Structures are given as structure tokens and as C-alpha cells.
Structure 1
Amino acid sequence: MSDAPAGYGAVRIPADVSRPDRVLGPATARQVAVVAGSAAGLWCAWLGVRAWVSPLAFLIPAVFVLVIVGVAVSTERDGLTIDRLLAAALRQMRAPRRQVMAPEGVVPPPAFLAEALGKSPRPPAPLSLPIADLDDAGVIDLGADGAALMAAAGTVNFGLRTADEQDVLLGGFARWLNSLSGPTQITSTNAPADVSGFVGTLRDQAASLPHPALGQAAQEHAEFLDGLGATRVLLTRSIHLAMREPGRAAAQRAVRRAEDAVSHLAACEIRVSPLGHDAASADLRALLDPSGA
């Protein structure tokens, strides 16, 4: 009898499927375009200053600039190259710091306020959100970007399963990934957990349990949870799936994809619940105001 686990087998693919194609050695088309554009710009600069600058005096800083550009477009951090991170940082610096929900626009402050302050205060900028509407089924209208639907997903204990059970779970999850027909985001969020209500319920119901030993166990568990909450920061984890569909009939396709996720992930013992209007609205409010103020 073979000791190898039956069922699904794991095969390691030594490739990054999301990596862009290489067109010139290890360089992608974007990297080649950026470096070639920088070299062309330096050549044009040399043609403009060669009458006054010696070739060696121009070559040294030009090579230094090309090295910096090459490092910026080839070095990655968190999946983004350095030049894209720098561009995002510049956009963040230029973006307004104060934004408010004002789809009709921000009214400028009155003139007497500027006279009292001695300068004209800078009004906040309207907060531009991609969300245009949220229907009763929980489908988020993204305007020109289509529609999206969020679903809450459960978890499954993978480490305590046998090798055969792990193969079955991985196979079911792989089938769901292969069935995806559009962008899908999996988000895991940690938030502080408040167990005071649960502790109070345990203590209130401990006396009404059918056996004194059960009541004592409930009291001890309540004290244990109360001690954890007093000495540590307890966290609760929530996992959401966001399925987006572009173009026409995007709402119907997003709903069908959510139904497919429910059926496919049920084989992995993962419970998926599409969010309705109220639950999706509450999640969106929590994203915009995590503190709940």
C-alpha cells in the first residue's frame, strides 16, 4: 500500500502568472520604454548643450541619471516599482487634506470670515467616491466602471485537517479561482472586539443552566474572557469578497458570480453570504469611518 495521499495532488508551478511579459532580456515593455525615453531625453539635452559642455562632463551625470531610472523601474516594493510609488506619493502630496461629502459642491466661505482671519481660508474639497448608488440587492453601482457586489466569507481550519482533506479543500478553492470571469478582491480586516456583552450574557444565564457544573463552567469562562479583555487587545477578523463586473448588465452578472461563489466555496466548507442593502451600507460606512465617530 502506498503512503502517498490519495485524491488531489499539489503541483508547484515555477512561474509568476501575473508577471508582465519580458520583451528585451529581463526588461518589460514599460521598463524599456521608460529607459529609452530617458536616454532619448538625455540625447536631446546633449545636442542642446554640446557647444558649451565637454562630452565627459555630460556623460558622467547622464549615466548616473540612467542608473537611477533603471533602478526605479526595476526595483519593487509591495508589488509596485519605485517610480510608481513615487508617482503615488506625489499624487498624495497634491491631494487635498480635507474632504467632505458634498456631491453638489463646496460653497466658498463668506467674505467677512476672510476679513476676520486676515486671509481667505481654504475650503475643503468634495470627496470623490466611485460609488453612484446601492440598490436593494446590495449591488454597488460604480458608474462608468460597472457594478460590484460584496459578500461576507467564513473561514476553515486548514492546519488541523489530514493531507487528504487538505487536498480536497485546495481542489475546491482552485476550482472557484479557475471559474472567475472578472476582477475579484479578497479582503481580510481586523477590528477590536468587544466581548463585554457576551460576558454579561454568560453571567446572566449561568444560574439558569440545567446543571450546577454547567453554571460554574459558564462563570469561569466569563471570568476568563473578562480577564482577556482587560489585559489584551482582542481582535475580530472579517473576510469579504468584492466581485466587480464592467459594462452593461453588470449588476446581473455580479449577482450570478456571487451565487457561483456560494456554491463553489461551499465545497471548501467556506460559507459565503452576499451582503444585502443594509449590510453593504453598514460596511461602506465602516470603511469611510473606521472609528465609528
Structure 2
Amino acid sequence: MLLLQVSIKSIAHRVRSYRYPGSFIQVPGARHLMKIRTPLLTIAAFVLFYFVAGACFFRFGVESLVLPHVALSAQTTAPLFLRIGGDDGNAILVRRYGTPKVDCVVFFPGQHGNISAYIRNLFPAFVAHGIAVLAVAYPGQNGAPGTPHHLHEIMVLATQTAEAAQATCPGHRIVLYGRSLGSMVAAYAAAKTHPAGLILDSAARSFSSAIRLRLNARWYLAPLALLPVPRLLAHDYSLAEALSSMRDVPAVVFQGTADRETPLSDLRAAGMPGNLKLVVVSGGTHSTTDLLARDRTMQTALTMLRAPRT
């Protein structure tokens, strides 16, 4: 009898298991799903926030960070030559180095100014050949007042600076020389003022391409390069756009083969504008191309300033 009771209980247990398999299989699965769903939703929310925040930054915030504040260097001893100001309190300051025996070169530096290094290593080569260098200080840098929030403000002031330099230099002939970020600024100023020539050094082909290169250089920002950066920017400034309206102005770009910030390959990727001559600087990095090409740059400026007027 005892054996029969045990057998009956065993059969009943199996029958219950068969009749209600969900009580043994489905419930533990639901619990497991709940455990993994929460972290998955958290990750998805973070990824969404990451890309939305990046898109908003490109649209509304990136331009305000292009020009950091730079204190006035003790080596910036040249007297103030021009002050070009706007109604918003932003102003460009221009200091002159040398006497304009063969007219002037207006120099637009890169993002961080670094005028003291150019005073030591670059400007003397021009001054020795009778070319006065008019060095630009952007708003918020090297004593210039203001805090620009949009690149358009810089482009307008740069154009006004070029116009004032043309009116002030003895022969009314100038060459605009831009380095790194200053290349884009100089190119757009040249499009409006049509100087004797345009010299670019370590140039990016566009604002968006420069941003993408910076993003890809940092693993935690690299995914943002997947966003449609050109369409998110308020305006995607480019050499192609600037040079399209100044085909009568000779333009030369010096680009280093070892430049990682503005690579030669990226400049060539979209095709060079037909009116832009490329000079490849062997071994030049983003910080040394101007020094390696200094004599060729100076000779290029001399040729442009001495060329017959058209």
C-alpha cells in the first residue's frame, strides 16, 4: 500500500507538470528578461542622449569654442596699427612688423594665436625683404576685446581688416596669408576684397572636415563623426566656396606630408579648386610646415606683390 501511494503521488506530480508547463518554463524566462531589459533601456537612452547632445552642439555651440581666450604675450611689442571693431564689442587688433617697402602681408594666425612664435621665426623673413607683416589678433586673443560666438562675426571683421589694410599700405596692394584656421578666414576675406594674392598654410578643406578629423582623433568622440556634420552646422565654410568667387586672385596652399590635424590626403579628397596651387612640404607637420616652407612662402608673397596689376 505504501508503495502504491508513493507511485500515485509521483504520477500526480508529473501530470501537474505536464498540464502546467508554463509554471516551470515561462516564469523564470520572464524574470530573466526583466533583468536584462533595464540595462538595455539604460544603454539605449544613453546612446540617444549622446547623439542628440552632439547634434545640438554642432548646431548651436561649436562655433563659440573655435577661438579660445589667449592672453597678451609679453613678446607682442609692436604698436597697434589698426583696430577693426563691430557693434557687438568684438574687435580685431592689427600690429605691424617692419616697414612696407614692397607693400604688406596680412597674417591670420591659427586657432590659438601663438603670435610670439611667429614674431621670432616667421615675420623676420618677410621684413628682411621689405614686406611689412600686419599680424591679426582675433577677438579675445592677444589683447583684442570681445568674445565671438559665431564664425560669421570673425569673417566680417577679417574682411573689414583686409579692406583697411589695402587702404593703408602705401601701394594699396596686400597679400592675405592664413595659417590653419586662419586659412579659412583669409580665404573668405580674399573672396570679398580681391587682394594681390592669397597664401594658405596647413589648411582644412572645410569646417566640417576639420571637426570630423578632431572627433576621430578621440575614441570617446569618434562615434559623433557618423552624424551628418555638414548639415548640422549653421554654415559649413569651405575653401571651395571661398575660392569660387575669386578666380582672378592667385592662390597657393602649403601643406605638410606629416600633418595629422589637416592631412594632405583630406585636402585632396574632394578635389583641389582649379585656381588653388598646391605646394607639398615634405615632412611638414601641423606645427612645422610654416617654418619648413618659410622661404618659399616669402618668395611667393614677393612674386604676388610685384606682379603687374590686372
Q: In which range does the TM-score fall when normalised by the shorter chain?
A: under 0.3
Q: Work out which structure has the larger RCO, using CA pairs closer than 8 Å and 6 or more positions apart in sequence.
A: 1
TM-score, normalised on structure 2?
A: 0.22
Larger gyration radius, structure 1 or structure 2? 2
